[in-house]
């Protein structure tokens, strides 16, 4: 395990850099460049550029998720296990195992929510999403008694990462296949496909910055005594979202020669 864990972390970081780097390319660079192209240029460029880029994008997401899952199993579920929780050895914690799976189940609640009418209003949906994050964190800490800072951080990170990987494989990639095919055939893409791909890609961009905080949480233990640890995590989520919002604004002002 002393050899396997560092190798998995290494692969996890490499895959994450590949995936998140391309995510930022799509959202802050590629979209603005494609908007300057006429129909004939798009017909030549998009079918050549996007399939190649999306190949590394989706497999980067897959490798990031799987290596992250293995690290969670080895380090937290097998390694730390009972030490993650504040219960005494004589107390039965019936919510302990639910704490392991709730972050992954939230993927399907997230997807259903953003396919409902409530998901169409950005301000309302963002507020509800943050309340949902607070709710999951509260369940982990106050119901399942997950007291270890690194543990509840990484489980929130696993929730974000699972939502993002789900978006890549089941929402963005299928929509992009249809969009690329339409452009290649000289047809206008279905607005529903473009809307789906764009929205979920934007969601991934906003989740990525808090996700990176949770990925490095082994190095942020020193801040865990501020705001009882979970307060720091919530603050970093909000700061991360604000940072992404500012970068979206900045990306629209960068011009080519």
Label residue 92 left, alpha or beta by phi (over 0 means left) and psi (-120 to 50 means alpha). Answer: beta
214 touches 153 (CB < 8 A)? yes
Q: What is the pLDDT, as a whole number, of residue 88?
A: 53
Percent of the chain topping pLDDT 70 = 98
Q: What is the pLDDT of residues 150-170, one digit of tens each?
A: 999 999 999 999 999 999 999
Residues forming a β-bridge with 146: 85
Q: What is the pLDDT, as a whole number, of residue 42?
A: 96
Opening angle at CA 94, ends 93 and 100, nearest 5: 90
pLDDT at 90 over 80: no
Overall average pLDDT of the 79-84 stretch: 86
Q: Which residue has the tokens 């908007």?
A: 35
Q: Which residue has the tokens 């560092």?
A: 6
What is the reported pTM?
0.95
Number of Cβ within 10 Å of residue 180's Cβ equals: 19
Overall average pLDDT of the 211-215 stretch: 95
More confident residue, 244 or 91: 244
Tokens found for residue 195: 């809307």
């Amino acid at each position: 395990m002393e050899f396997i864990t560092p190798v998995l972390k290494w692969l996890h970081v490499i895959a994450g850099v590949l995936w998140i780097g391309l995510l930022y390319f799509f959202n802050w660079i590629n979209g603005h460049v494609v908007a300057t192209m006429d129909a004939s240029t798009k017909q030549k460029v998009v079918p050549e550029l996007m399939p190649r880029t999306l190949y590394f994008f989706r497999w980067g997401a897959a490798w990031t998720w799987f290596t992250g899952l293995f690290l969670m199993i080895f380090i937290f579920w097998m390694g730390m296990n009972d030490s993650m929780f504040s219960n005494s050895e004589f107390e039965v914690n019936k919510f302990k195992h639910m704490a392991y799976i709730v972050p992954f189940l939230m993927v399907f609640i997230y997807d259903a929510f953003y396919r409902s009418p409530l998901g169409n209003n950005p301000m309302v949906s963002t507020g509800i999403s943050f309340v949902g994050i607070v709710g999951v964190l509260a369940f982990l800490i106050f119901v399942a008694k997950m007291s270890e800072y690194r543990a509840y951080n990484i489980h929130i990170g696993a929730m974000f990462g699972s939502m993002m990987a789900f978006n890549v494989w089941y929402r963005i990639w299928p929509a992009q296949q249809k969009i690329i095919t339409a452009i290649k055939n000289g047809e206008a893409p279905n607005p529903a496909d473009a809307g789906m791909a764009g929205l979920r890609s934007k969601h991934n961009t906003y989740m990525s910055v808090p996700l990176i905080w949770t990925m490095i949480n082994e190095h942020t233990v020193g801040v865990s005594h501020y705001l009882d640890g979970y307060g720091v995590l919530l603050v970093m989520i909000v700061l991360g979202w604000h940072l992404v919002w500012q970068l979206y604004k900045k990306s629209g002002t960068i011009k080519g020669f």
